[in-house]
Amino acid sequence: MFKDEKISKFILENKIEIENIKPLCKHFEKCGGCIFQNISYRTEKEIKLKIAEKNLNFINNLKLTFFESKKRIYYRNRMDYSIVRKDNDILIGLKEYGKWYEVVNLDECYLLSEETSEILKRTKDFIIKNNLEAYDLINKTGNVRYIVIREGKNTKKRLISIIVKESFPIEKYSEEMKDMANSFVLAINDTLADVSFGRIEKYIGETFSEKVLDKEFIIPPFSFFQSNTEMAEIMIKEAKEFLDGKSLADLYCGVGLFGISFAENFEEIIGVEIDKEAIKAAKLNSIINGIKNASFVEAKVEDKIKDIKSDFIVVDPPRAGLSNKVIKGIISNKNIKKILYYSCNIETFARDLKKLSKNFKIHENIKIFDQFPLTKHFELLAFLEREE
């Protein structure tokens, strides 16, 4: 039924009626980018609601509020595409579903923007024309590894980052591609790890930024930012009803999106983030947006949680969720009275809420934001209050 066997099994077990449609993209059968292109949005929504309901059935009087995405295509503000060598050919695209070693060469992609296919085609032509060697995923040889494209959906800016093992003529590339982007980055990843970031060697052009509601955020090339700008705006608006306290600690704060957006509701904001470049950006973002009650600290949340003096915290952890050390720290730190928990992983979200529920009451209204249309993923928001 679906490339994801776990999803197929879930659909059968829950007797979800599938409404099939013709996939938009010709690469759908192989590409791992979006597995729900062959079903209607009504079906996709039902699947996501059922997944959330099954995982969160331990919450008393559970109420799920689903916020649909207005766009089902061209909604992402960042995409990372592999550049590989195979059989004397160069492929640029996404991994084949379930195969880390196979890349689907994309002539089209409906996740980022209409210009994506042109950028990928011209990048491939540039590599060939300049006799550059693409990377071999299996043998770990070669040079050019990834192209990462970030777009400011509201600022209309575009940043193209090229990740290589050794070197790349980024000045020449940026000159040839200047009609496609405002800024360009060359980054080095000379490790064996197949990751789409590296040590920044050169930055050419404007500082990249995105606007969310009435705030503008500088975003470093490889720092985390919500991947769907439209839904990020809704995520911020829908949290406002819960904001009540003197001091807010924004944990895993990234470039300061939540802390800065919520600053007017608190006397003091503190952000904690391990990414050095993100913290630099967060400090700049507070100045750009005229936020005078915020400070940001470069540190692991595990190391700072016991020292938090704030009565209100917002957490937006990576997909792995909150570590046991962080959960224990939240529970033992009696200063913390209220929690806003954002998550893009329903399984770790449910796991962590169960652990926190021994000391915190979970508000029954869980909000779901369809931040990742065409995929099985979605964003969630829960509000918790400490029980005395």
Which of 273, 225, 226, 267 is CA-nearest to residue 248? 267
Those residues with Cβ within 8 angstroms of residue 209's Cβ, 6 or more apart along the chain or in another chain: 152, 155, 157, 216, 217, 218, 219
Q: Using CA atoms, how far apart are residues 371 and 230, in angstroms rounded to an integer?
A: 8
Distances (CA, A) of 212 to 241, 275, 345, 362: 18, 21, 23, 28
- Give DSSP secondary structure letters for 2-43: -S-HHHHHHHHHTTPPP-B---SSTTTTTBSS-TTTTB-HHH
Which of 209, 214, 267 is CA-nearest to residue 237? 214
Yes or no: say if 223 and 255 are a contact pair by the CB < 8 Å rule: yes
- In the chain the first and final C-alpha atoms are separated, in Å, by 49
Q: Which two tokens stand for residue 125?
A: 């032509």
Yes or no: say if 111 and 149 are a contact pair by the CB < 8 Å rule: no
List the catalytic residue out of 34, 109, 253, 344: 344
Q: Where are the beta strands (DSSP E) in the chain?
A: 63-67, 78-86, 89-96, 99-105, 144-151, 158-164, 183-188, 199-205, 209-212, 215-218, 247-251, 268-273, 294-298, 312-315, 338-343, 360-362, 365-369, 379-386
DSSP annotation of 274 reads: S
Q: Using CA atoms, how far apart are residues 69 and 372, in angstroms rounded to an integer?
A: 8
Is 34 an active-site residue? no
Those residues with Cβ within 8 angstroms of residue 337's Cβ, 6 or more apart along the chain or in another chain: 245, 311, 312, 385, 386
Q: Which two tokens stand for residue 53?
A: 């309901």
Residue 374's identity, in one-letter code, is L
* Residues recognised as catalytic: 344
